[in-house]
A and B are shown apart, each in its own frame.
Chain A
Amino acid sequence: MRPGESAPHAVLACGEVRTCLLPAQQALDSRAAAQLLGLRADERVLLSERPNLYGRSPDILTGVDCPLPSANGSRVRAVGTVAARASLTEGRVLQSSAYFRVPAAGPDHRRPWGHYLVRPGVVEPFGTLPREAVAQGLLAGGRHGDLDVGLIAGGLLTRLLRHPLLDQRPPLKSRPTRLRWVALPADPGDGPSIERFTLAEDELRTVRLRVPEDTRSADVAGLCDDLALHDWLLTTVVRILDGIRLGSAPPPARPRPTAEDDRPPVVRALRPAVDHLLHLWMPRARVAEQLAPLWDVLEERPGFTRQWQTLVQRIRDQLTLHAIPSPHREVEPVP
């Protein structure tokens, strides 16, 4: 056990994941991924090639001393460190993930900083933690000046996006998403469960979990990274299909095709999805064994993989139809 990983027990864990397309024309190979994710000179980047290409940076810490957001307006001050790390899947999807856990109670004064530094990713409350109110507050987002774990994830993402390895030529237009999560302890004897998965504003998703007390917060963060990755894939592909126009008239306002690119607009819009996104679907690839069953719930309802397969099929059908020369088509393809 790490110092601080043992006692006192965390009774609340929280995090936020940012997910975006890597702004580079070509996906990064393992070596380049290691360069991008090498946030520290002395720590290895975790690299894995099975079941897909994946790299993860070491954790870095950010110190905080501020109130925790809460739903009932109580302002509980807390001090400690928030851990953050970045990951890259198949050299194409970049994620930054910040997370921390909170024990049930702490002393009502601030301790020397060295105390907090040897408890990475722990934020200690002053006094007793009003757990439920803070859990709700964290998901809803706090007031200005409350602990904002999204800022830390966003700050890390900004740092990575400035890396000179990236040529800033993303192969398709897409929007980053945010997934904010909290995990509360499950009742003794119960397994982990997802209490709620909400698509909030355009780019925000919130997830409320119950996990057994001995679950590592890094593992919960890993599960949420996986959920965020697949939710982003669905969101992005749905938007690509939303954006294509039917029939043969090219949308007048899109950037004009270059002279050599005389493919139909539908093909031009769908092709990047095939080149860069369709092979990325692999739920549970890196989820801790104990938490993997949580995916089953989402597969049941709303059916993540079912939706994905439908989208993939639509894209393939469109491309197949457009592969047939126009004069031989009896009807214009309709997605």
Chain B
Amino acid sequence: MLVFAASDKGGTGRSVTSANLAYQRALTGDHVAYVDFDFGSPTAAAVFDVPGAMRGTEERGLHSYLEGDVTEPARIDVWRQTEHPLLRARPNQSGRLVLFPGDAGGGEFATGEDALERCADLLLRLHGEFDLVVVDLSAGRSYAVDMVLAATAHPRMRYVPFRWLVFHRWTRQHVIAASGLVHKENGIIKGGVDRGHDEQTLRDNIRFVRAAVPDPESPLWAQGSPAQAAWMQACDEALRRLAAEHRIGDSVVLGVVPLEPILQWREQLITEEDVLATQIANKETLEALEEIARRLTDDSHWGRP
């Protein structure tokens, strides 16, 4: 299964959330690949805490691979190479977790026919090796989105199942932007159909993840006045209506990640330790991530809306 993580805007928590989903799936025994197609800002290594392993991959990452300068992109075994002390003790029965980083210092680039073929080669190879392949895509209508839409429409990839997660924050601007990325001109659906996808199939395989959503019930806001609470409630209602009008209402939402203070400070994997022992992360956040990770392959969440 391939899972593409997209967002219209930056700052949606797309990278850190998709990295956490990959991590959660690996914990449950899946072999997981995390592919950093955020070409303009290849920083996944920071989330997995593998900066040391990135040395020497400057010219061997996904940029170099797709441009044909190397035939195999660098891979980083997260359990073995992370500097995060908890991750290094790979839990028993967990699957492999392998990061495919971009070139450090790499930038956005125009992808051509050759890059497309190499992209299909890579996705097929990873599909043959891993249970789950999470592909983090540059924000907006990017070359990365374009390339994977074309690659998944390639005849060679006709039997490879894929799903899209579109991340957005819970604000008016983000809701409208996320809907636009999927439904509007040059969006994922229209662009996908132009590249040979079946519209209905593609539509059925797109779900939304609301990230950094403040929960009015949360203790974070407990100090607020009743007026503030009422205002938040009203905003939430209004956003729900707005989302529904823009065809990204609850029926196509795979999950909601609550606003998590530690993620505001530092993009990182949230471990059980962070919740139970040091209690720096909220239990709700971890549960939300676990649940979304589970739903990735739960067909009952991918029925037609």
Contact = CB atoms under 8 A, between A and B. Distances in A.
Contact between chain A and chain B defined by CB under 8 Å: yes
Contacts of B130: 173
A139 to B, nearest CB: 18
B29 A173 contact: no
A173 B71 contact: no
29 contacts: A23-B124, A23-B128, A151-B71, A158-B71, A161-B121, A166-B156, A168-B124, A168-B128, A168-B156, A168-B158, A168-B160, A169-B159, A173-B128, A173-B129, A174-B128, A174-B129, A245-B29, A251-B29, A253-B29, A253-B131, A253-B132, A253-B293, A253-B294, A254-B30, A254-B131, A255-B1, A255-B131, A255-B297, A256-B298
Nearest to B59: A144
B77 interface: yes
Given A21-B128, A174-B128, A253 B28 contact: yes
A155 interface: yes
A155 B59 CA distance: 19
Interface string B111-127: 00000010001001101
B159 A173 contact: no
Interface string A124-166: 0000000000000000000010000001001100100110101
By Cβ-Cβ distance, the 8 closest A-B pairs, closest first, are A253-B28, A251-B29, A253-B30, A169-B159, A170-B128, A154-B71, A175-B129, A255-B297
B226 to A, nearest CB: 42
A84 to B, nearest CB: 13
A175 B127 CA distance: 10
A254 B159 CA distance: 18
Contacts of A190: none
Given A202-B77, A251-B29, A253-B30, A162 B117 contact: yes
Nearest to A25: B159
Nearest to A178: B72
A175 B298 CA distance: 26
Nearest to B32: A253
Contacts of A254: 29-30, 131, 297
Contacts of B72: 154
A264 interface: no
Interface in B98-122: 117, 121
Nearest to B157: A168
A167 B160 CA distance: 10
Contacts of A166: 156
A243 interface: yes
A92 to B, nearest CB: 13
B185 interface: no
Interface string A172-189: 011110000000000000
Q: Which of A23, A144, A154, A255 has the most CB of B within 10 A?
A: A255
Contacts of B293: 253
Contacts of A202: 77
A20 B124 CA distance: 13
Interface in A1-58: 20-21, 23
Given A20-B128, A173-B31, A253-B25, 20 more contacts: A23-B124, A154-B72, A158-B71, A158-B121, A161-B121, A161-B124, A161-B125, A164-B155, A168-B159, A173-B128, A174-B128, A175-B129, A202-B77, A245-B29, A253-B28, A253-B132, A253-B297, A254-B131, A255-B297, A256-B298
A173 B179 CA distance: 35
Interface residues of B, number: 33
A166 B159 CA distance: 11
B299 interface: yes
Contacts of B156: 162, 164, 166, 168
A20 B127 CA distance: 13
Given A21-B128, A23-B128, A252 B121 contact: no
B16 to A, nearest CB: 20
A175 to B, nearest CB: 5
A158 B124 CA distance: 11
B223 interface: no
A252 B124 contact: no
Nearest to A21: B128
B93 interface: yes
Nearest to A202: B77
A257 to B, nearest CB: 11
A94 B155 CA distance: 21
Q: Which of B59, B159, B160, B293 has the most CB of A within 10 A?
A: B159
B237 to A, nearest CB: 34
A167 B159 contact: yes
A252 B28 contact: yes
Contacts of B95: 243
Contacts of B159: 167-169
Interface string B31-57: 100000000000000000000000000
Contacts of B59: 144
Nearest to B28: A253
A242 to B, nearest CB: 10
Nearest to B56: A144
Contacts of A252: 28, 294
Q: Which of B28, B128, B130, B158 has the most CB of A within 10 A?
A: B128
Contacts of A144: 59
Given A168-B160, A202-B77, A252-B294, A162 B129 contact: no
Nearest to A22: B128
Contacts of B1: 255
Given A23-B128, A144-B59, A168-B160, A256 B297 contact: yes
